[in-house]
Structure 1
Amino acid sequence: MIKSMTGFGRASSDEDSARSFSLEMKSVNHRYLDINIRMPKSMIPLEEKIRRIVGERLNRGKVDIFLNYKNYGQFDTVAKLNTELADSYVNCLKQIKDRYSLKDELSLNLISKFPDVIVLEEQEENLEEIWNELMPLVNRALDTIIDMRETEGQKLYEDIIIKSKDIEENVKKIEKKCPEVLKAYKEKLKEKLQGILENIELDENRLAMEVAIFADKSTIDEEITRLYSHINQLRGTLLLKEPIGRRLDFIVQEMNREANTIASKSTDLEITNLVINIKNMIEKIREQIQNIE
């Protein structure tokens, strides 16, 4: 089954859990796999593990991951007393008191207000425990994204198959029209020469040679054969159980190349219009496969 590169997934931890995780993940089309993660600074050491899991399950796309985390079981920061600095402040205050014979006493309120006497320190958490809780959430969000990608991929598959049938029908019409074009050219050339030569007998061998030269220059048998082959390759590739976006892009380029060649060789208005229809369908397929993994 083909997959698109567009998807969205969300997962969060249980409400009664001591740790609260909220994870959102979205992906859009991209030439390669591009993973961007926004997460709390304290959890940055886990970033590579998240990247590895995503890289194992997704092959292409721009993936944005947003992770919010709160710990209700313990404080993220704790207050610490800088005893050396507090002692220094107290000694300085005592010196001022003795030097100037001041009567005011030292107080807790006064000393605690001095800068950096009481500082806040972040507590280190057990990253292994956090990862054991976070990993299932990452996989759950990926499950949702992959489901969405597969659903959209199925729609793309069905639409591309319909368009490939339209292209094939137009190619068949061109193939059927080719002998008529050659016959019409021969009759038109014969009438023109007879009008010019009037009573002079027309050289049938010369006429046949001119028709043969025209047929050689305008023949599109090879292009038609290759177009049929590319259509079959397109359908076969859609059935592969692997990333096929780049391969499809190449096939569509080749289909467009053959259509352009047919258009350049064609002198018939009907064939030209059929080629325009084919190129229109090819362009629509090309736009769609830009979002196929």
Structure 2
Amino acid sequence: MFEVKSVNHRYCEVVLRMPRDWTGYEDVLRRKVQQHVKRGRIDVTINREHDESSSGPVLNRSTVMTYLKAADQLKNEYGLSGELTLRDILSIPGIMESKDEAAGAVSAALEDYSEMLETGLEQSLQSLLEMRAREGSFLAADIEQRLNHLETMHAEMVELAPVVVIEYRDKLRHRLNELNDGTFAFDEHKFGMEIAIFADRCNIDEELTRLYSHFEQCRALLKGKGPVGRKLDFLIQEMNRETNTIGSKCNHLTLVGLVLDMKAELEKIREQAANIE
């Protein structure tokens, strides 16, 4: 019986659990999982089916004899004293095993399970991939909707960007007029230079352009085929960086509010992207 489960993970981590006598196939099965899954923690559990008549522990006599011989060698070679008790022997790993494990250990050298294991794992992986594909389509639709919201906020930022300088100019002129008591002359040239310096310092045109470009790249990734999770992670980091820069440059209450809303939306997209391969 095969059971395959997956959870979020930045990389591809495969955890295999199977009867001890099948551990020789672990590398082959691990590579098969990695051929199909590029991201996430994949837990694969393989159990050997058995009926009630084959259940129940049995004594592994060969292991008992191995430990008894080793105890005699220690006594003879090193002059050690003491006896192995029944409790000591029963506490040794591998002394007691199920009947099907005992039978498998005997026949492991005579029978090749590789084809059976690979076929069963392949079928389980296909079911997992179908489920992940359905989930991925819902996640892509959700991210697309959030991108639309980001673009709406981006458009508001584009409209507000030139207004920031105009409002600063008007406020500064009004403030200077209030402070001017006639003891100093108003210098229009210096006033213009101050406005120019402020306009250059708070200019966010480049950040807005790059941000819109990242939106388009994100949409292209969602429509493409193949693993896109890591690329989405990188794009979200870049969008966060541009948004932070806008927040540090802008000197406008409405723009600051839009930056905060955009960062919150990007965090939701980042959480969703963590579920995408």
What is the DSSP-based 3-state SS (H/G/I as helix, E as strand, rest coil) of the residue aligned with 1:267? coil
Distance, in Å, in 2 between the alignment partners of 1:78 and 1:195 is 98
TM-score, length-normalised on structure 1? 0.73
State which of 134, 141, 162 in structure 1 corresponds to 2:124.
141
- What amino acid is the match of 2:135? E
Q: Give the match for residue 225 of structure 1.
A: 209
C-alpha displacement of 1:206: 2.2
- What amino acid is the match of 1:216? D
Q: Give the match for residue 250 of structure 1.
A: 234
- What amino acid is the match of 2:121? V
| CA distance 1:190–1:205, change in 2 (3 Å) | same
Runs (4+) off by over 6 Å: 75-79
Q: Give the match for residue 4 of structure 2.
A: 25
Q: Give the stretch that moved more between structures: 237-246 or 154-163.
A: 237-246
Distance, in Å, in 2 between the alignment partners of 1:49 and 1:180 is 63
C-alpha offsets along residues 207-241 of structure 1, whole Å, 9 cap, x if unaligned? Answer: 21111111011111111111111111111122221
Q: Give the match for residue 38 of structure 2.
A: 59
- What amino acid is the match of 1:185? Y
Q: Does 1:69 align with 2:48?
A: yes
- What amino acid is the match of 2:174? E
Tell me: higher relative CO, structure 1 or 2? Use CA pairs within 8 A at least 6 residues apart. Answer: 1
Q: Give the match for residue 220 of structure 2.
A: 236
C-alpha offsets along residues 95-150 of structure 1, whole Å, 9 cap, x if unaligned? Answer: xxxxxxxxxxxxxxxxxxxxxxxxx885214432x333332221111011101111
Contact 1:266 1:272 in 2 (8 A): yes
- What amino acid is the match of 2:254? E
Distance, in Å, in 2 between the alignment partners of 1:169 and 1:136 is 49
Greater per-residue strand proportion? 1
C-alpha displacement of 1:71: 6.2
Contact 1:24 1:67 in 2 (8 A): yes
Query: Superposition RMSD on alpha carbons, in Å?
Result: 2.7
Greater per-residue helix proportion? 2
Runs of 5+ consecutive residues of structure 2 not aligned to the other structure: 63-101
Q: Give the match for residue 113 of structure 1.
A: none
Distance, in Å, in 1 between the alignment partners of 2:31 and 2:178 is 79
State the identity as a percent.
Answer: 39
State which of 142, 149, 159 in structure 2 corresponds to 1:176.
159
Distance, in Å, in 2 between the alignment partners of 1:212 and 1:280 is 32
Q: Give the match for residue 260 of structure 1.
A: 244
- What amino acid is the match of 2:43? D
TM-score, length-normalised on structure 2? 0.77
